[in-house]
């Protein structure tokens, strides 16, 4: 997995940290979500186009491209045929480029990319939460038949003083 680096002033970083905290998120999670949303927004009305790398075209697509070339070569009036007539000959359109316009009802690649980034971020957040739930929350819960110090005005360990349930357990000699 690759990482992006973002240079910020100390003030900008501090503000983003506070925004994340106010939104009950970790800063990294917020950046993922803002980036994916911003990607879609930025290219909403700005078109972009570039050719796919050879490695981005599947074996099946390469075979179809070759088949399409033969169909076109063997039919002088191919481009005058209706779409359904072209399909009957075995012609299928294969996209050899990335573009965020003229997708005829399909999601464009920018939106798909933004969705992938967002879904990956949410997956990581869920995995982290599950780990927290399994390892931290279970460890820091009160146990049956134990006595805990909830409030103590001294410096003794108690829940109010910020100690865990295990640390706040009242032992026989306390």
As a whole number, the mean pLDDT across the chain is 87
pLDDT of residue 61: 96
Contact 68, 76 (CB under 8 A): no
Contact 151, 144 (CB under 8 A): no
Residue 166: how many CB atoms within 10 A of its CB?
Answer: 14
pLDDT over 70 (residue 120): yes
CB within 8 A of 27, min separation 6: which ones? 16, 17, 20
Q: How confident is the model at residue 89 (pLDDT cuts 50, 70, 90)?
A: very high
Nearest 5°: phi and psi at 97? -145, 170
Average pLDDT over residues 157-172: 80
**Among candidate residues 11, 54, 4, the one with its CA nearest the CA of residue 28:** 4
pLDDT over 70 (residue 27): yes
pLDDT of residue 157: 81
**Residue-wise pLDDT tens digits, 91-108:** 999 989 998 887 666 788
Angle at 111 between CA 106 and CA 112, to 5 degrees: 80
pLDDT of residue 53: 96
pLDDT of residue 173: 60
Average pLDDT over residues 114-129: 89
**Residue-wise pLDDT tens digits, 72-83:** 999 999 999 999
**Among candidate residues 41, 24, 32, the one with its CA nearest the CA of residue 129:** 24
Average pLDDT over residues 109-127: 90
Contact 41, 34 (CB under 8 A): no
DSSP 68-96: HHHHHHT-TTGGGS-HHHHHHTT------
Q: How confident is the model at residue 168 (pLDDT cuts 50, 70, 90)?
A: confident
**Residue-wise pLDDT tens digits, 32-65:** 999 999 998 999 889 999 999 999 999 999 999 9
Average pLDDT over residues 145-166: 78
pLDDT of residue 153: 67
pLDDT of residue 156: 78
């Amino acid at each position: 997995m690759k990482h992006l680096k973002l240079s910020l002033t100390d003030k900008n970083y501090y503000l983003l940290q506070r925004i994340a905290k106010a939104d009950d998120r970790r800063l990294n999670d917020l950046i993922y979500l803002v980036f994916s949303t911003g990607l879609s927004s930025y290219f909403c009305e700005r078109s972009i186009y570039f050719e796919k790398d050879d490695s981005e075209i599947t074996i099946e697509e390469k075979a179809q491209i070759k088949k399409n070339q033969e169909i076109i070569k063997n039919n002088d009036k191919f481009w005058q045929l209706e779409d359904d007539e072209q399909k009957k000959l075995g012609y299928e359109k294969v996209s050899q480029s990335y573009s965020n316009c003229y997708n005829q009802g399909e999601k464009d690649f920018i939106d798909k990319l933004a969705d992938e980034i967002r879904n990956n971020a949410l997956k990581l957040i869920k995995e982290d939460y599950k780990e927290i739930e399994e390892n931290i929350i279970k460890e820091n819960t009160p146990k049956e038949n134990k006595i805990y110090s909830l409030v103590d005005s001294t410096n003794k360990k108690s829940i109010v003083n910020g100690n865990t349930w295990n640390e706040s357990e009242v032992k026989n000699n306390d």
